[in-house]
Amino acid sequence: MKYGTYVFTRPFGNFSIPVPFQNTILRDYFRAISLPYSLPEVEHKFDNCYMSLFTLMEKMERKSTIYMVSLEMLPSNKKYNEISKIAVSNEISFFGVLEKRALKTTSDFLNYIKIRRFCDDNNE
Amino acid sequence: MERLIVSAFENKGYIYGIHKDSCLINEIIKCIQDVANVEDLSLLHKTVSRDDINEIRILSFEKLNNIPNIIERLYGSVSESLLSLMGNDILGQNRLNLSIQMPNDVNSQLNLHTDTISGQSEYEVVLWTPLTRAYQSNSIYIFEKDLSFDIYANLSKYERIGNTGLYERFKDKAQFIEVEPPNYLMFSSTLLHGNVINHTNSTRVSFNYRYKPTYSKKEINVPNERKFGTFYVPVSLSPITKLVMDYKEPSNFK
């Protein structure tokens, strides 16, 4: 799989976006960048559960991208480190439509989480 | 009959039934045949490419949901089972969903999941109706209640292997549903189910729809749109519910 999509049933960041709307956002984005849209992997509702993201990463081929409405869906705790290591070693990027930002290299992942944790700590 | 339905549901978490309104099922089939311009939906893959199938799906979805009184007729068609399972105060989904599973189409695969995992009510039942013969890998598979509950309760143990790995671990327990129109499958939203790549030479077309009791616990962990008034519409209301809908508590005391 070269392009994957990931949607989130729980609130993320300051957002709570129903899955059908996340689908619409991603479908629209895929249309804009002329990529074929495929059904998203839907994350489970349980706090700190990333089972569907692990499933999706397993399906992705090298040099592939997982698109999501916001990178804030990613965990910010130690599971983030685990997920980012798997992504980097398998050459899987994450792209947040809202942030217009890709996380591809170790340094991308580190920079992103540094700012995110700072913002979380300072209620930004 | 009611006792049979109840005992099958209590044992396995799912039941089979026959649509009372077989004309409705034929109308739905005809509607998709017209959109796709094919006589035999199981041969859809012969004339429609995988790239075009989503457009056919979306057009068919719109058309079948515009069949007059489809929600009411569908309820009438399966009401006997619903009455046995949840009484007569029932909400239904606002629309029917359509699935098309063409041979060897990797993009239509739905991993092992329960509907509750993404925030659907655990009080819900899913009505799954094939519009072509569903068998072997073109069908869905389901895990019976006891195994589903056991896996679900221990889901955190399986997080790292993901849904695909979880299916691989338990796939010998998967029951592939063999059913053809106008029969249906009705199963609890708490059961693990999914589909695999269709390795038959027959396209499977089916629709799915959800029912739950009017008085069921609200999902509070997931602030999603799956609520009465948005996702659910009334399909059968008891006299007492209708009365309460008109009743207002006084509130203008100063």
**Which pLDDT value is given to residue B13?**
96
pLDDT higher than 80, residue B155: yes
Q: Does residue B136 contact residue B196 with C-beta atoms inside 8 Å?
A: no
pLDDT higher than 80, residue A7: yes
The answer to whether the CB atoms of B117 and A44 lie below 8 A apart is yes
Distance CA B242, CA B157 (A): 45
Residues A15-38: what's their mean pLDDT?
92
Mean pLDDT of chain B: 92
Sorting pLDDT into bands at 50, 70 and 90, what band is B47?
Answer: very high
**Which pLDDT value is given to residue B170?**
96
**Which pLDDT value is given to residue B219?**
66
Mean pLDDT of chain A: 93
More confident residue, A14 or B201: B201
pLDDT higher than 80, residue B1: no
Residues B215-240: what's their mean pLDDT?
81
Distance CA B216, CA B222 (A): 15
Residues B170-186: what's their mean pLDDT?
96
The answer to whether the CB atoms of A55 and B119 lie below 8 A apart is no
Percent of chain B at pLDDT > 90 equals 79
Q: Which amino acid is at B232?
A: Y
Facing residue for B223 by CB, picked from A16, A43, A55: A16
Residues belonging to chain B with any Cβ–Cβ distance to chain A shorter than 8 Å:
51, 54, 107-108, 110-111, 113, 116-119, 155-156, 158-165, 219, 221-225
- For B34-77, give the DSSP string: HHHT-S-GGGHHHHS-TTTHHHHHHHHHHHHHTSTTHHHHHHHH
pLDDT higher than 80, residue A122: no
**Which pLDDT value is given to residue A124?**
60
The answer to whether the CB atoms of A51 and B158 lie below 8 A apart is yes
- Give B-chain residues touching A51 at CB under 8 angstroms: 155, 158-159, 162-163
Residues A17-29: what's their mean pLDDT?
93
Facing residue for A55 by CB, picked from B119, B162, B223: B162
For residue A58, which phi and psi values (nearest 5 degrees)?
-65, -30
- Give B-chain residues touching A49 at CB under 8 angstroms: 155-156, 159
Sorting pLDDT into bands at 50, 70 and 90, what band is B120?
Answer: confident
Distance from CA of B210 to the nearest CA of A (A): 16
The answer to whether the CB atoms of A9 and B224 lie below 8 A apart is yes
- State the pTM of this model: 0.88
Adjacent-strand bridge partners of B141: B176, B194
Q: Tokens 């947040």 — which residue?
A: A96
Beta strands in B94-199 (DSSP E): 97-101, 125-130, 141-142, 175-176, 183-188, 193-194
Q: What is the pLDDT of residues B57-90, one digit of tens each?
A: 999 999 999 999 999 999 999 999 999 999 999 9
- Give B-chain residues touching A37 at CB under 8 angstroms: 54
- Give A-chain residues touching B51 at CB under 8 angstroms: 36
Q: What is the pLDDT of residues B197-225, one digit of tens each?
A: 999 999 999 999 999 999 987 766 666 67
Q: What is the pLDDT of residues A60-105, one digit of tens each?
A: 999 999 999 999 999 999 999 999 999 999 999 999 999 999 999 9
Residues B168-189: what's their mean pLDDT?
96
pLDDT higher than 90, residue A44: yes
The answer to whether the CB atoms of A45 and B119 lie below 8 A apart is yes
The answer to whether the CB atoms of B223 and A43 lie below 8 A apart is no
Q: Which residues have a Cβ under 8 Å from the Cβ of B112 and sit 6 or more positions away? A: B163, B164, B166, B167, B192, B193, B194
The answer to whether the CB atoms of A52 and B162 lie below 8 A apart is yes
- How far lies B146's CA from each of A73, B10, B120, B181, B203, in Å? 32, 10, 20, 28, 31
Closest residue of chain A to B117, computed from CA coordinates: A44
**Which pLDDT value is given to residue A21?**
93
pLDDT higher than 90, residue B229: no
Residues B19-35: what's their mean pLDDT?
96
Least confidently predicted of A35-39, B123-127, B130-134: A35-39
Tokens encoding A110: 């580190």
Distance CA B172, CA B232 (A): 35
Q: Which of B118, B122, B158, B166 to mutate to test the interface with A (most CBs of A within 10 A)?
A: B118
More confident residue, A61 or A118: A61
- Give B-chain residues touching A54 at CB under 8 angstroms: 159-162
Task: Report the first-to-last Cα separation within chain B, whole angstroms.
Answer: 57
Sorting pLDDT into bands at 50, 70 and 90, what band is B138?
Answer: very high
More confident residue, B8 or B30: B30
The answer to whether the CB atoms of A45 and B118 lie below 8 A apart is yes
Residues B18-24: what's their mean pLDDT?
97
